[in-house]
Amino acid sequence: MKIIDITQELFSCRVYPGDKLPMYERVASVEHDKFNLTNISMSVHNGTHIDAPNHFISNGKAIHELDLSTFYGKCTVVEFEGTIGDAEIADILKNCHKRLLFKGQNELTESAAVLIANSHVKLIGVESQSVGSMEHPLDVHLILLEKEIIPLEGLDLSNVNTGEYTLSAFPLNMKDSDGSPVRAVLIEN
């Protein structure tokens, strides 16, 4: 068994334009206090994270209400550069698991998101900080989140080959939160 970390390092991660950078403050140290203690400040959408439906939908589910089985199980990693449209996603959906990760610099079109929303897929992962276009992310998010298809954004798939894996990417238990950082790994059997 091989475990591949696909998580960005938090304090050097990419962030969505306009979001606050994650920061930490050492408030106690072994040298002065006999222990280390660190405070952090960040957006729940920094680095590798998931979006809950209530990120864009007023009465959508929050992080603590999501089915945890969504975040663990068989997944398919495909590589794609550019815009993912209807034809491309239709072919991919024929042979993928419920968790689908896209390697490369890509973005889903609204029509591709509709096809995903009407499929068996429960989670979509991307390396970008947004599953939709960076210029117009709202529409793709709404299409997916209305069907409770969870975006897993900000992945680092640079050391991953295409194929089938087991994904583990659990959110933190944060009541009413609209997103959560995750430690995402792929398990290769």
Residues annotated as part of the active site: 55
d(CA 72, CA 158): 21
Q: Which residues of 99-131 are buried (b: 16+ CB within 10 A; e: fewer)?
A: bbbbbeebbbbeebbbbbbebebbbbbbbbbbb
Q: How many CB atoms lie within 10 A of CB 154?
A: 27
- Is residue 174 a contact partner of residue 82, using CB atoms and an 8 Å limit? no
**Residue 23 CA: distances (Å) to CA of 10, 13, 38, 63, 128:** 9, 11, 10, 22, 21
Task: State the helix-helix crossing angle for 86-93 and 110-117, rounded to 10 degrees.
Answer: 20
